[in-house]
Amino acid sequence: MRTIRAGLAVFPGLFLLFGQSGPPARRFEVASVKLTADLRTKPDISTSGLRFDARAKSVYPLILYAYNLRSYQVPSTPALLTMENIRYDIAAKADDAKTPTPDEFRVMLQSLLIDRFQLRTHRETREMAVYALVAGKNGPKLHESAPDASPGHHYGASGHNWVTTMHKATIADVLDAIENSLIDRPVVDQTGLTGTYDIEMTYAPNLPSRRNAEPDPEDIGIFAAVEKLGLMLAPRKVTVDVMVVDHVEKPSEN
């Protein structure tokens, strides 16, 4: 049985995932956590300079962002279910020492979740059925981005198909596009590709509203879309690391 440490990015604070003691070193200088007043607000997380902002986010996506994990790596637990319909707005600022990197912002959000939401977790390994994203028979057909290219994503529509254009994209961005098609199991990266690429994917997502509809000859399935990139989705059973949420609660007052 092959063990895949799927999706676990290495950055300061990752030791929390593996159950070692002590919080991450860097914290937000100030942070406001409030219930979302307008539930019509579009959920979003953004950073700019020293600032971190999360809008209309429940605890679950905050955990995924903070630990740089995918949804299959944080299984549902009773603790999470009690918080699933509560959304928060977070406005936080780092100290003036230096502008945080994206990974440093994640570390500071880990501290906030531990301190304010009393987040407690432990690590397990579990066997699960996945699709492994691997190189196709003739190798990847990806165009490397120019060194000075600017990252950016654009989403459009062509009939029932989604057209996703990505500039300076990583394989993680490709995984996000695949997961948007709502296929029936998690996807893990086994391509070994670490560069950035200019990619266009066209595919018909597996939306609930269309599952009983007659197939359209113009529809492009996600498997075919992936093959056009010189990649393929291979069904496999692997052992993956997961982070189990043992405890989380409504945050302390500001």
Assign 6 a pLDDT band (cuts: 50, 70, 90). very low
Residues 114 and 147 in one domain: no
- Structural domain includes residue 246: no
Residues 119 and 152 in one domain: no
Residues 120 and 181 in one domain: no
Last residue of a domain, one of 62, 95, 124: 124
- Structural domain includes residue 202: yes
Report pLDDT digits (tens) over 84-126: 999 999 999 998 878 999 999 999 999 999 999 999 999 999 9
- Structural domain includes residue 241: no
Residues 175 and 105 in one domain: no
Q: Is the pLDDT of residue 47 over 60?
A: yes
- Structural domain includes residue 144: yes
pLDDT of residue 214: 67
Assign 9 a pLDDT band (cuts: 50, 70, 90). very low
Tell me if residue 141 falls in helix, strand or coil: coil
- Structural domain includes residue 237: no
Last residue of a domain, one of 71, 90, 124: 124
Residues 166 and 74 in one domain: no
Residues 79 and 115 in one domain: yes
Element (H, E) at 5: none
Tell me if residue 146 falls in helix, strand or coil: coil
Residues 7 and 98 in one domain: yes
Contact in structure between 202 and 220 (CB atoms under 8 Å): yes
Number of domains observed in the structure of the chain: 2
Report pLDDT digits (tens) over 127-185: 999 999 999 999 999 999 998 888 888 888 888 888 999 999 999 999 988 887 767 78
Residues 62 and 145 in one domain: no
- Structural domain includes residue 180: yes
Taking the alpha carbons at both ends of the chain, their separation in whole angstroms is 48
- Candidates 38, 35, 83, 34; CA nearest to 60 is 83
Residues 38 and 12 in one domain: yes
Residues 108 and 47 in one domain: yes
Residues 63 and 109 in one domain: yes
How far, CA to CA in Å, does 192 sit from each of 8, 34, 94? 14, 41, 34
pLDDT of residue 159: 81
- Domain assignment of residue 33, given as a range: 3-124
- Structural domain includes residue 206: yes
- Structural domain includes residue 251: no
Residues 29 and 102 in one domain: yes
